[in-house]
Amino acid sequence: MFQHSKKVASAALFGLMASAVMTTASHAEETIKVGILHSLSGTMAISETTLKDVMLMLIEEQNKKGGLLGKQLEPVVVDPASDWPLFAEKARELLEVHEVAAVFGNWTSVSRKSVLPVFEELNGILFYPVQYEGEESQRNVFYTGAAPNQQAIPAVDYLLENEEVERWVLAGTDYVYPRTTNKILEAYLKAKGVADEDILINYTPFGHSDWQTIVSDIKAFGTAGKKTAVVSTINGDANVPFYKELANQGISAEDIPVVAFSVGEEELAGLDTEPLVGHLAAWNYFQSVDTEINAEFIETWKAFIGDEDRVTNDPMEAHYIGFNMWVKAVEKAGTTDVDTVIDEIIGVAVPNLSGGYSAMMPNHHITKPVLIGEIQEDGQFDIVAETDGLVAGDAWSDFLPESAKLISDWRKPFSCGNFNVETGQCGGSATN
């Protein structure tokens, strides 16, 4: 009896091990493997599945062009199932078992935090494509999404100048990205002379669905006789009920505009956008960007996914940039060796989809234009403002006292992610 059960268990385990070993052995030499670490099930699948698809498309396109270093690229897709510790396990599997040359993945901050030690230990490369809270610069990670200074601050500037907003509601989901962004914005607004009582900060839980009270609070806050705007860092799922409630309570963009940092074309696809016309979003890319290269990208995407109605969005562009940067760096280095690529990729510039070039900075963030868009009836954004030039991502915000002292530069021999200019020391974890 006991032996039976033992056998079942061990058979299962060895099956696992064997299959893992075999897959590595059989393909090792012919291809270069690229890991894709995006949730395909669970709560984050809604956003991340698209990114998996766009990676598959980019890899396919690259292979059509003859691959990389004369070899074909082979995508390795795994599903970390929106489960944060599973992210770490899968990252380890990609690096150790499949020996991928680079990983493209993650969406939430917590999933990135969860895989960081793995990438550090096994010396891998991760391209992270989503706008995030900053306050991080790690040797093995390249942040192709926006840092707060590439999204939030230009958006607030736009509202200050164009809408002459004097009263601010900072509404967000209670997690680290909104907390940081709101902290930075609060400091920034106060520096611009906004009084304490003209800032209302509000946090809600994940997936909050009953917005009646909060929307009516916003409405009440907006009746003080000063122009009011909402800066929304509300996360994913909670947005649809939030906007629906706004529309129903009759708050139009002309009365109280809402500028969001987490709402893009993909999120709007699940919404009736007619009542939302004029609400804003700040991103580094919109599908409506009118350039040849973008039209081509959209066309390829629609053909690849086989659906005319699918949209493109900012994190997809981030992957596009990140992937091309990696390809270029590998070509430059002539090898996929991690250490060499990490050194070579700094300074690499590739075309972005808005008609310019994005470059990898020494702090592992990239330069991007910042675009402000207004929601249109068709679920697209009209770009109403654009920063004059490219904005370089700032890993350590200047508006938070502790982080203002830190700088990051991964060029040799400096190689430090959090150099404290006051003490003159490279402090803490990111040193390798």
Q: Least Å distance between CB 254 and another protein?
A: 5
Residue closer to another protein by CB (options 208, 368) is: 208
Asked if residue 303 binds another protein (CB under 8 A), the reply is no
Distance CA 87, CA 109 (A): 12
Identified binder of another protein from the candidate list 28, 209, 331, 421, rule CB under 8 A:
209
Residues with Cβ within 8 Å of 127's Cβ and at least 6 positions away in sequence, in order, are 102, 103, 104, 105, 141, 142, 144, 319, 322, 323, 326
Closest distance to another protein from the beta carbon of 334 (Å): 26
Structure tokens at 58: 């980019």
The angle at the Cα of 81, spanning 87 to 353, to the nearest 5 degrees, equals 80
9 near another protein, rule: CB under 8 A: yes
Answer yes or no whether residue 74 interacts with another protein by CB under 8 A. no
- The yes or no reply on residue 207 touching another protein (CB under 8 A) is yes
Structure tokens at 287: 């599908």
Q: Does residue 278 belong to the site contacting another protein (CB under 8 A)?
A: yes
Question: 248: how many CB neighbours lie within 10 A of its CB?
Answer: 12
**Candidate list 62, 102, 105, 114; residue touching another protein; CB under 8 A:** 114
| 366-425 binders of another protein (CB under 8 A) | 374, 376-377, 382-385, 400-403, 406, 417-418, 420, 423, 425
In order of 194, 320, 328, 349, the CA distances from 325 in angstroms are 41, 9, 5, 7
Q: For residues 201 and 97, give the distance between their C-alpha atoms in angstroms, rounded to a whole number.
A: 46
Q: What angle do CA 110, 116, 117 make, to 5 degrees?
A: 125
81 binding another protein? (CB under 8 A): yes
> According to the binding rule CB under 8 A, does residue 69 interact with another protein?
no
Nearer to another protein, 20 or 349 (CB): 20
Least Å from the CB of residue 65 to another protein: 26
What count of other Cβ atoms lies within 10 Å of the Cβ of residue 4? 8
| Binding piece for another protein, criterion CB under 8 A, among 61-69, 213-221, 330-338, 351-359 | 213-221
Tell me, letter by letter, the H, E, C secondary structure of 166-224: CEEEEEEECCHHHHHHHHHHHHHHHHCCCCHHHEEEEEECCCCCCCHHHHHHHHHHCCC
Of 29, 30, 254, 308, the one binding another protein (CB under 8 A) is 254
Q: Would you count residue 78 as binding another protein (CB under 8 A)?
A: yes
Which residue in 72, 162, 355, 389 binds another protein (CB under 8 A)?
A: 162
The one-character DSSP state at 366 is B
- To another protein, the closest distance from the beta carbon of 93 in angstroms equals 6
Binding mask 224-243 for another protein (x = CB under 8 A): xxx----------x--xx--
175 binds another protein (CB under 8 A): yes
Kindly tell me which residue out of 34, 88, 130, 231 binds another protein, with binding defined by CB under 8 A: 88
Distance of CA 342 to the CA centre of its chain: 20
Question: Shortest Cβ distance from residue 216 to another protein (Å)?
Answer: 7
* Contact call for residue 314 and another protein (CB under 8 A): no
**DSSP H stretches of helix in 306-400:** 314-333, 338-345
